[in-house]
Amino acid sequence: MAVHRAADRGPDRMAALEQYRRRAEGYDRELALFEPIRTDAVAKLDLHPGDTVLDVGCGTGLSFGLLHNRIGKGGRIVGIEQCPEMFAKAQARVDANHWRNMDLVCAPAATARVPLKADAALFHFTHDVLRDPQSIANVLSHLKPGARVVASGLQWAPPWLLPTNVFVLMAAMYSVTSLEGLSQPWDRLTAHLRDVEVQTALLGGIYIASGRLR
């Protein structure tokens, strides 16, 4: 269990790295339940042919196909992933699909360097990244003004929805290194956005937050 026991502690990057190294082999199967959330999150990016989009914490590249369908061959996808094992699977997915409009960056979100300004950014199930101000600042610095930003992931449901919160806790114990901010995981990101909208799914245990960079 990599989750910090103190609720006020922030994420631990090295613990997250080890966590995802262990999960890399079965990651795609683990995320199958949440694929409808991914589809909705990508739709909210409102991408157009020719757009450039950052996929932050891209994992094994499960979002690449959805993103590519919307931006076309004239667009560009930049995947950022710090875990070498996950990164290798993302690269294999790119190679298998013969995508030529992809840039993969193996680095933490807090320090990744992207040689362009993007039209949109996706944070899909990246709780630790969203609770780290340095990661948020670095990613947003690579976006154009008015860029569309979407984040999705686990959150605490209202306290009376105990079964939902048990599910959220079990999922979080397996996928994040800190429970800090799980009541509103998006708030540090949306502080930099305008026209913010937040919707929930799975009885309040999942959120999708969207907005535009100020």
For the cut 70, the answer to whether the pLDDT of residue 42 exceeds it is yes
The tens digit of pLDDT for each residue in 129-170 reads: 999 999 999 999 999 999 999 999 999 999 999 999 999 999
**E strands in the chain:** 52-56, 76-81, 102-106, 118-124, 143-154, 193-201, 206-213
Q: How do 76-81 and 118-124 pair as beta strands?
A: unpaired
CA dist 27 and 21 (Å) reads: 10
List the Cα angle 112/11/164 in 5-degree steps.
120
pTM summary value:
0.94
Q: Which domains does the chain carry?
A: 13-213 (3.40.50.150)
pLDDT 10s digits, 179-199 = 999 999 999 999 999 999 999
The share of the chain scoring above pLDDT 70, in percent, equals 96
Q: Among 180, 164, 61, which Cα is nearest to 122's?
A: 61
pLDDT at 2 over 90: no
